[in-house]
Amino acid sequence: MNIRRITVYKVEYPLVETMTMSADRHYEQLDSTVVKVETDAGVSGYGEVCPLDGSYMPAYPDGARTGIAKLAPNLIGWNSTQLGPLNRHMDELLKGHPYVKSAIDIACWDILGQVTGQPVCNLLGGRYGEDFPVYRSISKDTPEMMAKAVTRYQTEGFQNFQIKVGGTVNGDIDRIYATSDKLVSGTRLNVDANTAWLRDQALRVLRAVNDIDFYIEQPCLTYEECLSVRRQTDRPFILDEAMVDVSTVLRGYSDRAMDGINLKITKFGGLTKARLVRDLCLTLGLSMSVEDPSGGDIITAAIAHLAHSTPPQFMLMASDVSRRIQNDIVVGAPRHLNARMSASQAPGLGISIRTELLGDPIIDVK
């Protein structure tokens, strides 16, 4: 199962609706990178990485493609199913930049599943139950528009919401009250500032809405700022952007900095390392949301397999990132039904690629 060819495609996904995050970051289209890994046995796997841009996290689309172009020639001839050695080799070739390695790693898990005749979730630890919950993210908007969105999506069965904040203190207080007022009993609400608040702003918001039950996600930019806020509130705390590897998760656990993490696959470098972090969280008793910054159906399939192989009591929720996009390059991709989703039962990721929609590769190494 040695790698004989790696091809890379740039895929642009128009969004169904504008996605708005903190700091007034607006996205109407996603720039994704799809990687195909071919083996000398005729088996191929696909992976995907879709960072937003450098203003959100230290990752950006052109950087992903540049890094893959550097790695690819040095991976030809390596066994695609020996994921431990392959990942160590990539780390030796390129220090840091985990998102660069993620699509290659996901593609190799797709290959491993196909050659063993197993869906990836079986290889990641086994399938728990029939399905798992997905959440609906509500873009930052006026309080009234966000409340209407929550009401609309509850009629579709959603019981988990993540609302985007990170504007003015008073505006965010209004957003939290307006959306929480529409929630039915038993609904989980996550308030995600995406690093936008200063410590004093975070504390003012949290104290003003102390009568509302919700999780707070990554209120401030740095780990230290978030820890300072955490120590002054009893609100359930989720860390996201500050959790980038095993050592930061261990530090957060030791400092009691969080009650759970957002486990973004490409941020950690692919399924191999995301599984390691997932299993560490299981050992430490930390809850998780399994997701990714953005992407299409390939990364959604990877999310589904990792989420479905995670014990339900540790799962806060998972994201269906591909619901945002208009065009569909995949056949057999997971789709949520009544706000729940399941991983494919077919070998590998369980998807087929509509190659005619990929266009010409921008990188082709063999």
Tell me which residue of 222, 196, 191 sits closest to 208, measured CA to CA. 191
- Is 264 a catalytic site residue? yes
- Is 70 a catalytic site residue? no
* Whether the Cβ atoms of residue 164 and residue 138 lie closer than 8 Å to each other: yes
Among 10, 164, 267, 273, which one carries the catalytic annotation? 164
HEC secondary structure over 131-185 = CEEECEEECCCCHHHHHHHHHHHHCCCCCEEEEECCCCHHHHHHHHHHHHCCCCC
Among 10, 264, 267, 273, which one carries the catalytic annotation? 264
CA distance 49 to 293: 9
Tell me which residue of 272, 333, 282 sits closest to 304, measured CA to CA. 333
Show the tokens assigned to 267. 């941020």
HEC secondary structure over 289-338 = EEECCCCCHHHHHHHHHHHHCCCHHHEEEECCHHHHECCCCEECCCCCEC
Catalytic residues: 164, 264
